[in-house]
Structures are given as structure tokens and as C-alpha cells.
Amino acid sequence: MQTIRIATRGSRLALAQTGQVAEMLRQAHPEISTELVAISTCGDRLGGPLAEVGGKGLFTRELEDALRSGSVDVAVHSAKDLPAAMDGDFTIASVPVRQDARDALACRAGRLDELPPGATVGTGSPRRRAQLLALRADLHVVPIRGNVETRLKRAVGEAADMDAVVLAMAGLNRGGLARPYGQYIHPLEIEQVVPAAGQGLLALQSLAERADIAQQLAAIDHADSRLALHAERAVLRGLGAGCQSCLAIHVRRCGNDEWGGLAMVARLDGSDMVNLSCRSDCADAVGRDLLAELVKRGAVKLLADGSAEK
């Protein structure tokens, strides 16, 4: 029996979502087995805000090294962590169906507008920070690191030290935390807080030369999810933006013959914010339109300035 070796980060969430991918593969190919290979990445080992320590490949470099060495056959990434400019010897061989792309506020107080004045909200994402401050300028938004459950407990646990944290719904669902903490989780609509490019998506990466692996992974590929990811990553590449940029991109099918897109770029304090939306007949066209309008509206300069506060 063939065994497909799957590289993953070692966090609870990464292991859970990679386990789900392995199960999808086993169902699609009963004749194969799977082996999960947990690998520690630079992003897992470093402390401090990701925007300060981050760079290309923060959560992916070690997994790509394992692919190149031949010690694994495929690597599972949260798509929003995968650098937009990928080395030519790699390919995204499969994109499973997108999960809930929304962000969520986790707190005891209720929805965002029910937080007390000056509430402390934790997030390590410049994108989330800017959009929160644009909605509630009074909030005290602070950087926060750690696995999903650790961050969640800082807002709703017995020893909570902040009023709320913002997390991805996909991570809460895949990690099995959405149900037990459901009373404290308040999804933020995509139009209210635009997600990061790739949010809710998994990218299954392999060596481009491994046609055999690509063929097996094709069984769990979801066409619309792949098209959306391709369009979102094209905008990132066009702007030279990284996963810790103060930039949001979301592309989705709106009907049989229509796709829609949302984009946001701003300074860290939520000022000079640009919000865009567009529709077209294909995902690629939506990505091209968003990119052209972002460039026209000064996104390149904002990102080059580091999306700094005024």
C-alpha cells in the first residue's frame, strides 16, 4: 500500500486540519495510507508580533525544505500563510473546499458594538487592527500571539486579561473550538471586516515535478475555491504584499455566472482606508479589477510606507 507523507506544522490546529485532509485523501483513495509529519517552523519558534518578526516563508520554509529533501510528499498550509511569490519548483496541487472565511470576535460582552468604551482587543493582524479601529476608534487594540485556544482563553477564560480577541472562524471550526465556546463567538460579516487573502482555504503544496502526487490530490480539489485563491494571490503578487500587510482581499462566486470581490488597504490606525468591491463573470477578472483599482487608489504607497500609523 502506498503511503503519502504529509508535512504539517505541529500546532493543534495545524494537526487537526491536516488530519482532515488525510481523511479526505483516504476516502478518495482507499488504496493509499497517509502519514502526518509534524515540523516546527520559524514562525512557531519566534516570539513577538508577527508584523515585526515576519518575512517570506515564516510558517512555510521548513515544510518546503522537507518537500525538496524528499522526506515528505505534500505540505498542508493555511493558504493565507503561503507567500504569494512561490518558488518555481513548487505548485499548489490541490485546494479543498473553502471553509467559513469570516473573522470572529470572541468575548463575553457580545457583539463589537456592545464592547465597553476603550475595550482591549487582542489581534496579531495589522489587517484586523486597522478595520477594528475604523469601526471603533476608541478600542485599545494590542498584539497577541499563541495557538487558537490560548488566544481564545485570554478573552473568555477564567484568567482572561482582555475584553476580546479576533480569530478566524475557519480555525475555530477546524480546531473543534467553535462549538464548546459558541456562546462567546460572534462572527464579523465579510463586508464589515474583509478577510485576508486565502482565509478559510488550505493550500496543498507539492513539488511541481511530482505529477503522481498532483493526480492523487486532484480528487480533493474544489474548483471554485482554487479559482478564488488564484485571484486573491494574484492581487498580493501584483502589490508585492505579504501575509502581514495591512491588506484584505476576498473573492467569491455570487451566482452561476458572476463572481464578486472585496478589498481593503489602510494604515494601521484605520486611517486613509480604501474599501473596494467589484463583480465580473470570472474570478481572474475580479482579481485584475481589484488590483487595478487598488493601484489607482494608492495602495502601493500605503504598503510601501509599511501601513504605518500617522
Residue pLDDT, tens place only, 285-301: 999 999 999 999 999 99
pLDDT per residue as tens digits for the range 224-275: 999 999 999 999 999 998 767 899 999 999 988 899 999 999 999 999 999 9
pLDDT per residue as tens digits for the range 58-116: 678 899 999 999 999 999 999 998 988 899 999 999 999 999 999 999 999 999 999 99
Check whether residue 217 and residue 82 sit in a common domain.
yes
Check whether residue 125 and residue 159 sit in a common domain.
yes
Which CATH number characterizes residue 77's domain? 3.40.190.10
Q: How far apart are CA 83 and CA 80, in angstroms?
A: 8
Q: How far apart are CA 278 and CA 263, in angstroms?
A: 9
Residue 196 lies in a domain: no
Angle at the Cα of 15 from the Cα atoms of 13 and 17, rounded to 5 degrees: 65
pLDDT per residue as tens digits for the range 17-30: 999 999 999 999 99
The domain tally of the chain equals 3
Which CATH number characterizes residue 265's domain? 3.30.160.40
At residue 143, the pLDDT reads 94
In terms of residue numbers, what domain contains 87? 2-96+201-221
pLDDT > 60? residue 1: yes
Check whether residue 270 and residue 288 sit in a common domain.
yes
At residue 113, the pLDDT reads 95
Check whether residue 212 and residue 259 sit in a common domain.
no
pLDDT: is 307 or 141 the higher one? 141
Indicate the average pLDDT of the chain. 92
pLDDT > 70? residue 55: no
Q: How far apart are CA 50 and CA 44, in angstroms?
A: 10
pLDDT > 80? residue 44: no
User: Within 10 Å of residue 99's Cβ, how many Cβ atoms?
Assistant: 20
Check whether residue 212 and residue 270 sit in a common domain.
no
Residue 228 lies in a domain: no
Residue 227 lies in a domain: no
Residue 213 lies in a domain: yes
Check whether residue 88 and residue 213 sit in a common domain.
yes
pLDDT > 90? residue 4: yes
Check whether residue 92 and residue 107 sit in a common domain.
no
Percent of the chain at pLDDT exceeding 90: 81
- Indicate which residues carry an active-site annotation: 81
pLDDT tier, 220 (very low <50, low <70, confident <90, very high otherwise): very high
Check whether residue 110 and residue 249 sit in a common domain.
no
Q: Dihedrals φ, ψ of 104, to 5°?
A: -140, 145
At residue 256, the pLDDT reads 86
Check whether residue 19 and residue 147 sit in a common domain.
no
Check whether residue 155 and residue 184 sit in a common domain.
yes
Check whether residue 78 and residue 209 sit in a common domain.
yes
Residue 309 lies in a domain: no
Residue 122 lies in a domain: yes
CA 61 vs. chain centroid, Å, equals 17
Q: Terminal CA-to-CA distance of the chain, rounded, Å?
A: 60
For residues 46-55, give the mean pLDDT. Answer: 53
Residue 193 lies in a domain: no
Pick from 165, 188, 211: which residue ends a domain? Answer: 188
**CB-CB contact of 52 with 24 (8 Å):** no
Q: How far apart are CA 178 and CA 67, in angstroms?
A: 32
pLDDT: is 305 or 158 the higher one? 158
Check whether residue 74 and residue 211 sit in a common domain.
yes
Residue 256 lies in a domain: yes
At residue 57, the pLDDT reads 65
pLDDT > 80? residue 307: no
